[in-house]
Amino acid sequence: MAVLLTILTDPRDPTPRRTLALPPNTSILKSAHAASIEITATCGGRGRCTSCRVKFVAGTIPPPTIMDEIQLGNDLVREGYRLSCQCVPSEAVTVQVAPPLEERAFQILGAGPGVVGMGRVTLDSGIRKQVVKVSLPREEHHQISDLEQLAAALGVTPTDVGLAVLQGLPAALRDDPAGVTVTTFAPPGGRGSERVVAVERGDTAGMKFGLAVDIGTTSVVSTLIELDSGEQLASVSSLNPQAVFGGDLMSRIAFAQFDPGNLRKLHTRIIGLLNRHIEEACRQSGVLAKWIYKVVVVGNTCMHHVLLGIDPSYVGLAPYAPVMRHPLTLAARELFLKVNPEARVCLLPIVAGFVGADAVAVALATRMDDSPDIRVAVDIGTNGEVLLGSREHLWACSAPAGPALEGAQIRHGMRAALGAIDRVAIENGDLVLHTIGDAAAQGICGSGLIDAIAVLLDAGAIDWTGLIDLDHADRLPLPLRSRMMKRGDERAVILARPGESGAGQEIVLTQDDVRQVQLCKGAIASGAAMLQRIAGVPDDKVAELMLAGGFGNYLSIRSALRIGLIPALPEPRIRYVGNAALLGAQLALLSEIERDRAERIARGIEHVSLAAHPDFQDVFVDCMNFPRA
Ligand code: FES
């Protein structure tokens, strides 16, 4: 029999209290999602994170599951917290959804200086505007259409006219005696016919804008750009709202797998977000959305498929085949994007199931395809990618770091938001913490985790295998030693006691947290090591290591080297390149030659499937360990 479940949602929600009939054997998370109540499920409901936690405020609290105890710890379990994905109440209860993290303060790497700063880029977006005076049809006997009159005024017969243009044509031609502005899009090199994108009354020739979008697993960034000058007018970034249904790609694919309803949820969430970005970018810049005539989108293969409403199920199953790899151009109205309805939405090509258009955009932006020297680009993210090569040849592989560096699956992990510990050092024998915004410490984010492990390795508190080394703690300075502990079977280091750095509760780094970071850094480091091995490129032949992505710019290169997250190159040969995927999208937006180049790059990249390689297991295990001091 169904039991009544009352959910108190976030206070910002317009319907803060919802009561549902919970079917037998159904988890709180599952029935909340079925009723469109937002509960974040970063691990996709597998009991491997804490994002879906709820607090019981009325009714009998069910006994904790083993996953409750592991993920939440004894204190939270005692306070009545449970993982909603694991919890199946058998009588009427009321639960409070744990308030989401403060999104306003998230560090999402935005647009950077953009294409204008790159030089040597020919700006030719393919969008042209022309003001013409069109004579209206007059003859009744030898009839001629509005479109034919327009063609006569243009001097060419357009072969491809969008439906929305035809729908608006009679009014546009008759509304303004001064003439109309015709906007066309023509890919270079005669790849397709010239398409009429808009016919607007009056002279709007000076209004020509485009949008470059990078859809990441965790965050989404959009920039609004003036197409003739390349000037960035606005930049908007947000967390990817699909993360509620799974923090990493495999959880997201599992959610969508073979269930069209779930795929539709993911699809509508990303379209809704892009429309909010468009609205916000237009508000910031004063540009009208109808003047946005071209949009370029990059993202990994799963994000690409979901944006198009394509089932990504088979991307998650061996042999991980994408549904399509070629570049695609379609009309904005087909995706319900609220820019000009006939605006060209261009998706860059894909290399493989787990090496997407974002990797192609990174190669384009970093000019790896033009480099005489061998360079490596590491795009650090939930679904990371590694590229290696030069103009001779490019290799790429995926490096699924997972969401640990985003704070998921870490006891006191959080995203890089206000109050997150983002820097850790040791001074006078004790830990010194820095928090984002100098706010009271709430938890620890990825850059803080990497720093913490690096300094604890240096101090000898963690050994090269990743073990929190309690047996030799007597060698540590007293303040640090007093932070090392074993509770039950669990080893941990207390990063902040209540009151330290304003922490309201103890913040610890557990043995399991260290293992999660090892898995994550093992994925990235083994990706780079395998590509180097396959390409026969030792460290001393790598001219440059580029750290890209939304996360890359916030971590300390020294700490990343110390924990072995990246190849052991001298620091001067390592540099941040910012959000290179977004920069690649901007290049393709502003230059059809660059968009063509992206296609050539994608065709030339050799995808390396690491799991299938006989050396991979050994390399991965090796990369899980920390470099010895
Ligand atoms: S533990 Fe429930 S969604 Fe991750």
Query: Cα(52) to centroid of ligand 1, in Å?
Result: 5
Whole-number pLDDT of residue 489: 87
* Confidence tier at 110 by pLDDT (50, 70, 90): low
Give the side-chain half-sphere CA count within 13 A for 131.
11
Q: Is the pLDDT of residue 562 over 50?
A: yes
Query: Cα(42) to centroid of ligand 1, in Å?
Result: 6
Atom of ligand 1 nearest to the CA of 53: 2
Q: Mean pLDDT lowest for which of 145-154, 183-192, 518-527?
A: 183-192
Whole-number pLDDT of residue 410: 86
Tens-place pLDDT, residues 216-234: 988 899 999 999 999 999 9
Q: Which residue has the higher pLDDT, 549 or 444?
A: 444
Query: Cα(146) to centroid of ligand 1, in Å?
Result: 59
8 A C-beta contact, residue 333 and residue 342: yes
* Confidence tier at 99 by pLDDT (50, 70, 90): low
Angle at 357 between CA 356 and CA 358, to 5 degrees: 90
Q: Is the pLDDT of residue 105 over 90?
A: no
Query: Cα(494) to centroid of ligand 1, in Å?
Result: 24
Cis peptide before 614 (omega within 30 of 0): no
Q: Is the pLDDT of residue 238 over 90?
A: no
Residue 162 in 3-state DSSP? coil
Quote the mean pLDDT of the chain: 88
8 A C-beta contact, residue 252 and residue 305: no
Atom of ligand 1 nearest to the CA of 50: 1
Whole-number pLDDT of residue 15: 58
What is the C-alpha to C-alpha distance for residues 218 and 615, in angstroms, rounded to an integer?
30
Whole-number pLDDT of residue 325: 96
Nearest residue (by CA) to ligand 1, atom 1, is: 47
402: left (phi over 0), alpha (psi -120 to 50) or beta: left
Mutate to test the pocket of ligand 1, among 48, 242, 411 (most ligand atoms within 8 A of CB): 48
20, β-bridge pairs: 5
Q: Which amino acid is at 265?
A: K
Angle at 214 between CA 208 and CA 219, to 5 degrees: 130
Q: Is the pLDDT of residue 103 over 60?
A: no
Atom of ligand 1 nearest to the CA of 47: 1
Q: Mean pLDDT lowest for which of 299-303, 464-468, 576-580?
A: 576-580
Tens-place pLDDT, residues 486-500: 988 899 999 999 999
What residues have CB less than 8 Å from 117, skipping those under 6 apart? none
Query: Cα(67) to centroid of ligand 1, in Å?
Result: 9
Q: Which of 20, 44, 23 is CA-nearest to residue 32?
A: 20
Whole-number pLDDT of residue 101: 41
Q: Is the pLDDT of residue 73 over 80?
A: no
Calculate mean pLDDT across residues 251-261: 86
Q: Which of 286, 293, 289, 125 is CA-nearest to residue 198?
A: 293
* Confidence tier at 212 by pLDDT (50, 70, 90): very high
Q: Which amino acid is at 63?
A: P
Whole-number pLDDT of residue 102: 40
Whole-number pLDDT of residue 100: 47
Here the tokens at position 520 are 């994550």
* pTM given for the model: 0.81
Query: Cα(40) to centroid of ligand 1, in Å?
Result: 8
What is the C-alpha to C-alpha distance for residues 96 and 57, in angstroms, rounded to an integer?
7
Give the side-chain half-sphere CA count within 13 A for 132.
22
Output the CA torsion sign for 22, 24, 30, 33: negative
* Confidence tier at 415 by pLDDT (50, 70, 90): confident
Q: Which of 599, 583, 623, 625 is CA-nearest to residue 118?
A: 583
Query: Cα(60) to centroid of ligand 1, in Å?
Result: 21
Question: CB within 6 Å of ligand 1 — which residues?
Answer: 41-43, 45, 47-49, 51-52, 71, 83, 85
What is the C-alpha to C-alpha distance for residues 110 and 27, in angstroms, rounded to an integer?
37
Here the tokens at position 399 are 């490096």
Tens-place pLDDT, residues 330-387: 999 999 999 999 999 999 999 999 999 999 999 999 999 999 999 999 988 778 899 9
Tens-place pLDDT, residues 297-340: 999 999 999 999 999 999 988 889 999 999 999 999 999 999 99
Query: Cα(483) to centroid of ligand 1, in Å?
Result: 29
Mutate to test the pocket of ligand 1, among 27, 30, 42 (most ligand atoms within 8 A of CB): 42
Calculate mean pLDDT across residues 444-456: 94
